Amino acid sequence: MLWVKSLHIVFVASWFAGLFYLPRIFVNLALVPPESAAERDRLILMARKLLRFATVLAIPALGLGLWLWLGWGIGGGPGNGWLHAKLGVVMLTVGYHHLCAVMLRRFESGGPARSATWYRWFNELPVLLLLAAVVLVVVKPF
């Protein structure tokens, strides 16, 4: 079980690394002047590769977490409300990941982008999600 936990932590940390940096690329894309097509194309390529990388890392992170939950019974029984809250955080993280994919498609199609400031604030959400997940797992407040 410790190997599964270790791998789960590594894949979650790696997945979050992608989620930390991808919106930063969006900030840069929002700042690209319209006449700078080469810069825009390079940033979109970087974002596309990073999204693909983060998606590949998310799959084993989620699979190993599911294995810990269902296979080893972690979080089962009374007094384990923390796990339900953590599952909510996981769902929010998957939703955030999906939203990043939607935003990238919008950039690729040349659709309207939000301001760089908006993307800077959006970039802070995965920090809060990771903080919530870690506190729930380590502290188990309920």
Average pLDDT over residues 115-142: 96
Does the reported pTM lie above 0.85? yes
Average pLDDT over residues 120-128: 97
Separation CA 82–CA 16 (nearest Å): 20
* pLDDT band, residue 96 (cuts 50/70/90): very high
SS3 75: coil
Can you give the residue ranges of every domain in the chain? 2-139
pLDDT for the residue 75: 67
Per DSSP, 34 falls in state T
Residue type at position 86: K
| Residue with token string 């993280």 | 93
133: its two tokens: 């997940």
